[in-house]
Structure 1
Amino acid sequence: MKESILSLSPQHWKDYELIDSGAFEKLERFGPYIISRPEPQAIWDRSMDEKEWREKAHAHFAKEKNNPEKGQWKEFQKIPHKWQIDYNNPAGLKLTLNLAMTSFKHIGIFPEQAVNWDYIEESIARMPVEKPKVLNLFAYTGAASVAAKAAGADVTHLDAVKQVVTWSRHNMESSGQEGIRWVVDDAMKFVKREIRRGNKYHGIILDPPAYGRGPNGEKWVLEEEINELLKLCSEILEPDHHFLILNLYSLSFSSMIAANLVKSNFGEVENAEHGELYLEDNFQKKLPLGIFFRFRKL
C-alpha cells in the first residue's frame, strides 16, 4: 500500500481563525465572535498574556472540576447563543453552518475537518458516477454530509443523537441543499443491516468518538469496536469507484494504527493518505487535533 504521510490544516477560511493556543486552552474566532475553550493538547505557554486573551474573548468555557467536557459559558462581551458562519473553498464549495454554545464546550463544528470537506467535494466531482452514494457515520452536525450533498451525492447521514441530526438539517437548509437521508441509529447495527440488504456506497465517512452510546444505550468504545466496524464497512464500499475517510480523536491512537486498521480490513488501497490534522495559530504554533486515514479510487 503506497501511502502519503501528511499534516493537514484548513486554508482560505475567512470566517475562522485560531488566534492563540496554550495553557491547555485555545482562543478562536468564529465569524465576528471570539471564544476561549479548554484544549488538553495545548500543553505549551500562551503567546499572548492572559489579560489580553480575556480582553479579546466574547465568552469563555469554564469546565467542571470532575468533567473537563462539561461546564458553563461565561460571557465577557455580548454574544448571541446561536449564530452562523460560512465556509467557501476555491473549488466553489459553499456551506453555511449554524453554531451554538453548548454545555459540552462544543459549538457545532470541528474546524480542522475543513480539509476533509474539500476532499469529499473533490472526490465526488471527479467520480465517473452520476449520483454517488455517500454514508456519513457518527455524522454529528453534518458539515461533511452537506459538503457531499452540495457536490452532487446521494447522502445518508447517521448519528445516534436526534438533537444533532436536527442541527444537521438546519445546516443543510442554511446551505441551500435538500434531500439528505437522516438516520438516528447505532452505527454498527445500521451497517450490518445494509450488508443484509445488499446496499453499497461510493463514499464512507467515519468520525467515531472515543466513547459513546447508541440511541438505545448501545455501548461504543473506540478501541474495542473500530476494527469490527471497518471490517463491516469493507463489505458495503463499492469496489470500482470509491473513497473512505477515517478520523480518530483518541490520544492513544496514531496514524500508523489507522493505517494498520485499513490494511487489515481493506487490503491494498489506492491513493492512501494518513497523518495529523492540525490548526495553526497566529504565532505559528501547530495544534494537533486528531489523525486521519483516507483513500480513493476514482
Structure 2
Amino acid sequence: MPELDTLIAEPWADYGLLDSGHGRKLERYGRFRFIRPEPQAMWAPAGEDWRADAEFVPGSDEEGGGRWRFDQLVPREGWPVRWEKVRFTASCTPFRHLGFFPDMAPVWTWMRDMAPKSALNLFGYTGVGTLALSAAGADMVHVDASKKSVEAARANAALSGMADRPVRWIVDDASKFVAREVRRGKRYDGIVLDPPKFGRGPEGEVWRLEEGLAPLIGDCRKLLDQDSRFLFLTVYAVRMSALAIGELVSQAFADLPGRVEMGELAVREEARGLLLPTAIWARWRND
C-alpha cells in the first residue's frame, strides 16, 4: 500500500483561510469574511481579530442545522468570485457552505493537467470542477440530483463565458445515471465524484455512502478503459479512512494499467501556514 499524500489548497485572490482554531475558521470569499464551525481546528487561533461579515451559528441537537448571523450587508443572491478562468457565484447557503469547496482547487488543477477529452462529474454541485475541465477542452457531463444546484452550475457557465461549451447538464440520481451509461456502453476519459454522506435523488431515491459507494465505484470502472485517464473520489464528513477508499479503488481497477493513490485534502492557513484537513481522497491515474 503506498504512502498517503496531501493535496493542499493554497490561497488565491478570491479565497483564503485567514485563521483557524477553537473549533472555528475565518475565511475570505471575495471581498467578504466569514466564520464557520470547523471541528478539526482543535488548536488555538493565531490572532484575536476575527471581525467578519457573517458567522454560521450551529444549532443544538434539538434545533437542527443552524443559521447565518449577519453583521454586515452580504448579498443574499451571492457575489462573483473567480478561480483561474472560471467565474462563479459564492453565496451563504442554509447548509453553512458558500457555494463552492475551495479545498478542491488542487484537484481541479490535477484533473485539468491530465487533459481528458471527455469527463463525467458526479454529484457535480455548482459546477466549478465541470467548468475547470471544460475550459481545458474536455466534453463534459455534469450530474447532480438537485435541480437548484444544476441551475446554479449553468448560471456559473454563463458567468464564465462558457454557456456554449459542450456540457450536458443532467438532474438525476448519480447511481441510476451511471448504471444507464453502463448499459448504453458509454466510456469516458475521466470521472470525478464527490458523494455526500447522505442524500436523496430527484425521485426520492436514498443515498447512503457506506452502502452505495462500492457499487457506484464498480459501475464507474465499467465506464473507463485502458485508454482512460483517471477517476478521482473525494469523501467528506464520515468515519472512514483514506486507506479504506484507496483499497476500494485499487480492487476495482486492478485489471487496468496505471496506479492508485490516496490521501487527504487540506487548506493552507494564511496566518501561520498550518494545514487544515478537510477530506480524504483516492484516485486511479493512467498517465
TM-score of the two chains, using structure 2 as the length reference: 0.93
Q: Which one-letter code corresponds to 1:218 in the other structure? A: E
The partner residue of 1:276 within 261, 264, 274 is 264
State the match for 2:125 in structure 1.
140
State the match for 2:144 in structure 1.
159
State the match for 1:37 in structure 2.
36
Q: What's the CA shift for 1:274?
A: 1.4
Equivalent residue pairs, number = 282
Change (3 A) 1:243 1:67: farther
State the match for 2:7 in structure 1.
8
Change (3 A) 1:269 1:29: farther
2:22 and 2:44 in contact (8 A); partners too: yes
The partner residue of 2:52 within 57, 61, 73 is 57
Q: Which one-letter code corresponds to 2:58 in the other structure? A: K
State the match for 1:71 in structure 2.
66
- Separation in 1, partners of 2:41, 2:4: 23
Q: State the SS of the aligned residue for 1:29.
A: strand
Identity fraction in percent: 40
- Separation in 2, partners of 1:250, 1:231: 22
Q: State the SS of the aligned residue for 1:66.
A: coil
Q: Which one-letter code corresponds to 1:241 in the other structure? A: S
State the match for 1:97 in structure 2.
88
Change (3 A) 1:214 1:19: same
State the match for 1:214 in structure 2.
201
Change (3 A) 1:102 1:68: farther
State the match for 1:25 in structure 2.
24
- Separation in 1, partners of 2:232, 2:62: 30
The partner residue of 1:172 within 157, 176, 181 is 157
Change (3 A) 1:60 1:269: farther
Decide which moves more: 65-74 or 204-213: 65-74
1:58 and 1:75 in contact (8 A); partners too: yes
1:258 and 1:293 in contact (8 A); partners too: yes
Q: State the SS of the aligned residue for 1:9.
A: strand
Query: Does 2:74 match 1:87?
Result: no
1:69 and 1:105 in contact (8 A); partners too: no
Q: Which one-letter code corresponds to 1:245 in the other structure? A: F
- Separation in 1, partners of 2:133, 2:90: 20
State the match for 1:123 in structure 2.
114
Q: What's the CA shift for 1:76?
A: 1.4
Query: Does 2:190 match 1:190?
Result: no
Decide which moves more: 189-198 or 249-258: 249-258
2:253 and 2:284 in contact (8 A); partners too: no
1:269 and 1:295 in contact (8 A); partners too: no
- Separation in 2, partners of 1:68, 1:96: 35
Let me know the Cα RMSD of the aligned residues.
Answer: 1.8
Q: What's the CA shift for 1:12?
A: 5.7
Q: State the SS of the aligned residue for 1:234.
A: helix
Gaps in structure 1 of 5+ consecutive residues:
89-93
Change (3 A) 1:68 1:40: farther
- Separation in 1, partners of 2:187, 2:263: 27
Q: State the SS of the aligned residue for 1:145.
A: helix
TM-score of the two chains, using structure 1 as the length reference: 0.89
Gaps in structure 2 of 5+ consecutive residues:
none
1:99 and 1:108 in contact (8 A); partners too: yes
1:4 and 1:272 in contact (8 A); partners too: no
1:160 and 1:186 in contact (8 A); partners too: yes
Q: What's the CA shift for 1:43?
A: 2.3
